[in-house]
Amino acid sequence: MDFILSHVEHGVMTLTLNRPDRLNSFNDVMHQQLAECLKQAERDETIRCLLITGAGRGFCAGQDLNDRNVDPNGPAPDLGMSVERFYNPLVRRLAALPKPVICAVNGVAAGAGATLALGCDIVIAARSANFVMAFSKLGLVPDCGGTWLLPRVAGRARAMGLALLGEKLSAEQAHAWGMIWQVVDDAALVDTAQQLAVHLAAQPTFGLGLIKQAINASETNTLNAQLDLERDYQRIAGRSADYREGVSAFLNKRALHFTGK
């Protein structure tokens, strides 16, 4: 069974979470399949942008609770193990991937599905989509990067409200709060996300990767450390083929052709 549909075209790898009857919620096999696809995205130089979306009416409902049916008389489950084995490596790999990661949130994004979506580099949501930090209602803590991410994308006050109350947040509100990049009409989501992905896949990927890493590093760096990092990354970026191409095409007034290197 393919719980992850993978499709590569025009330098874009589109990953579709594919358990539509379970709102694309995660089970172990789906995690393993996603990890395999990410391995390919990491190794294949021709893939220059990653697009993640969901099949059916939802984006992702987080962890499949059917796998979490706790026997009240049995020993307590070790949820930390699933976080350590699946969610943490996933978040770390997406953050470290030196290519843009776009998330097209086609419907409800709940629990780890919400934090996964918000953690992508550029998030586009369908107008009918919404985000639910469902963890608190089960006595749990936002994982998949949630507690780190929320105060950074939403600010502390909203992060606390969202995480403690666990209420539904509309795509429009998430956009108004600056938590996501764009909201589009439901019918326009696929095209908008695809266009953006194809555009990014033709850009100077090496430089984009450095930008992404620099912005990620800024979350913990001091200004001083970040200035040093900018110097270092600029030094490396200045040696890339795409920088030469960009300058030469500009000076010669010709069309650009970036190779991503």
Q: Residues interacting with another protein, by CB under 8 A?
A: 229, 232-233, 235-236
Q: Which is nearer to another protein, 6 or 218 (CB)?
A: 218
Residue 199 or 239: the one with the smaller Cβ distance to another protein is 239
CB 53, CB 196: distance < 8 Å: no
User: Residue 232 Cβ, how far from another protein at the closest point, in Å?
Assistant: 5
Question: CB of 36 within 8 A of CB of 28?
Answer: no
Q: Which is nearer to another protein, 95 or 184 (CB)?
A: 95
Query: Which residue lies nearer to another protein by CB, 73 or 220?
Result: 220
The smaller minimum CB distance to another protein, of residues 156 and 239, is found at 239
Minimum CB separation of residue 101 from another protein in Å reads: 20
83 vs 229, which CB is nearer to another protein?
229
Token duo for residue 258: 């970036």
Q: How far apart are CA 170 and CA 180, in angstroms?
A: 11
- How near is the Cβ of 236 to another protein at its closest, in Å? 5
Please state the separation of Cα 188 from the chain's center in Å. 20
Contacts of range 74-81, beta carbons closer than 8 Å, 24 or more positions apart: 79/140
- Strand order across the 168-170 sheet: 109-110, 130-132, 168-170
147 burial via Cβ count (<10 Å: 0-12, 13-18, 19+): middle
3-class secondary structure, 49: strand
Q: How many CB atoms lie within 10 A of CB 115?
A: 27
Shortest Cβ 45–another protein spacing (Å): 16
- Cβ of residue 47: shortest distance to another protein, in angstroms? 21
